[in-house]
Amino acid sequence: MNRRTFLRMMLASGIIISVPATGASALFADEPAETFHVVSQMLTGRQQLDAAISQRLYALLAAQNPHFSSRLTRLAQRLGRSGDLTPEARLAALSDEDVETALAVITPWYLGYTGNPATTRATDDAHFVSFLSALMYEPTADVTPRPSYSQRGSDYWQAVPEGVTAPPMPANIHVWGKASPRAASHIPEPQPAWLAMVEGRARTWQDAQRLTRGEGGDA
């Protein structure tokens, strides 16, 4: 999935670019960090973003990419000129580089960190920014505590939710862990025809089969 498609999906869900632009003057400030804050408000659709977090995010993104400040300025100019357009048209007016910059702004607000954490190396370029203010937890905040520690007692997740009738469970299921008898020993490779449809290279199963036969794959 490319960046523009992903941004369009977020737009369709109402997550981003839901605040109307108020003109180019609102998107520019004396300091680039202030411009970043206003652009962040527009792209996330939230007016109450924490200013201290915004300052830290801008500093980290600018340090991570020396071209970020100039690209942010171009993105702000595009958004400022598209204030009278619908969100869909505003997205269509962005260049591929603008889309990349927009996602660079949005992503850490939702994840709470910049860069890419690595589990196989001692060091990486990830930098923590915020846990409690990460926007990804907002949609389920009324039913799911942020997973730093349990707010509902030890092993609260093992209890069957109120009003739910659970089917019978196998004996000792709570201590299975990785020893589950149903655990997969390996992840099989996807069928080429199925993969062609997922990647958008074919619209129907028949087209996918014809395509993969032509590529030498098994359909």
Q: What local confidence, expressed as pLDDT, does residue 155 receive?
A: 62
Residues 6 or more apart in contact with residue 196 via CB below 8 angstroms = 202, 207, 208, 211, 212
Q: What local confidence, expressed as pLDDT, does residue 160 receive?
A: 74
Q: What local confidence, expressed as pLDDT, does residue 114 receive?
A: 94
Q: What local confidence, expressed as pLDDT, does residue 173 receive?
A: 73
Which residues in the chain land under pLDDT 50? 1, 12, 17-25, 219
Q: What local confidence, expressed as pLDDT, does residue 24 receive?
A: 45
Question: Tell me: the pLDDT tens digits for 1-17?
Answer: 455 565 555 554 555 54
Alpha helices per DSSP H over the chain: 3-12, 32-44, 51-64, 68-81, 87-92, 96-111, 192-198, 205-214
pTM of the model: 0.59
DSSP summary character for residue 218: -
Reading the block at residue 116, the tokens are 């890419």
Rounded distance, CA 39 to CA 98, Å?
Answer: 12
Question: Tell me: the pLDDT tens digits for 100-117?
Answer: 899 999 999 999 999 988
Residues 6 or more apart in contact with residue 23 via CB below 8 angstroms = 80, 83
